[in-house]
């Protein structure tokens, strides 16, 4: 089944404790992206990647890192999480040149 998977689905952590949210897709998509969803703000793009070893900042990259060492994986790293990063995070992927993205199920992160 074609899908985007994210792990974990739920995470509660404390300020400053480094964490990684994994994202994997099995559709051989070149483009991958991370978004956060917050009430009243909709979905905002954090980082995106056009292909392996090619990443770029989205609208709200501060406090986040990403890497794209393999085509299928695009982990989101929070080196020192803060409470304002409490949010619902979505990973998405698409074929190069195709704007329609496939989204993962989301990861709800709470930073206390």
Partner 1 sequence: DQQVKQNSPSLSVQEGRISILNCDYTNSMFDYFLWYKKYPAEGPTFLISISSIKDKNEDGRFTVFLNKSAKHLSLHIVPSQPGDSAVYFCAANPNTGNQFYFGTGTSLTVIP
Q: Mark the segment that binds partner 1 (CB under 8 A) among 14-22, 68-76, 79-87, 93-101.
A: 93-101
Judged by DSSP in three states, 84 sits in: helix
- Residues within window 18-77 making contact with partner 1, judged by CB under 8 A: 31, 33, 35, 40-45, 48, 50, 56, 58-59
Order of strands, sheet of 19-25, starting from the edge strand that comes earlier in the sequence: 4-7, 19-25, 76-78, 65-66
Q: Where are the beta strands (DSSP E) in 1-112?
A: 4-7, 10-13, 19-25, 31-38, 42-51, 54-57, 65-66, 76-78, 87-94, 102-103, 107-111
Of the two residues 48 and 74, which places its CB atom closer to partner 1 in the complex? 48
Task: Decide whether 56 or 79 has the Cβ nearer to partner 1.
Answer: 56
Among 65, 95, 106, 110, binds partner 1 (CB under 8 A): 106
Binding segment (CB under 8 A) for partner 1, from list 19-27, 68-76, 79-87, 104-112: 104-112
Measured in whole angstroms, how far is the alpha carbon of residue 109 from the centre of its chain?
A: 12
59 within 8 A of 37, measured Cβ to Cβ: no
Tell whether residue 13 is a contact of partner 1 (CB under 8 A): no
Q: Which residues bind partner 1 (CB under 8 A)?
A: 4, 31, 33, 35, 40-45, 48, 50, 56, 58-59, 90, 92, 99-106
């Amino acid at each position: 089944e074609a899908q985007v998977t994210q792990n974990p689905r739920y995470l509660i952590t404390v300020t400053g404790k480094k964490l990684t949210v994994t994202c994997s897709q099995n559709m051989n998509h070149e483009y991958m992206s991370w978004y956060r969803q917050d009430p009243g703000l909709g979905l905002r793009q954090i980082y995106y990647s056009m292909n392996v070893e090619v990443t770029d900042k989205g609208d709200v990259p501060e406090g986040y890192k990403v890497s794209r060492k393999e085509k299928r994986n695009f982990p989101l790293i929070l080196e020192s999480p803060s409470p304002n990063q409490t949010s619902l995070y979505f990973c998405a992927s698409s074929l190069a040149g195709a704007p329609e993205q496939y989204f993962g199920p989301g990861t709800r992160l709470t930073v206390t």
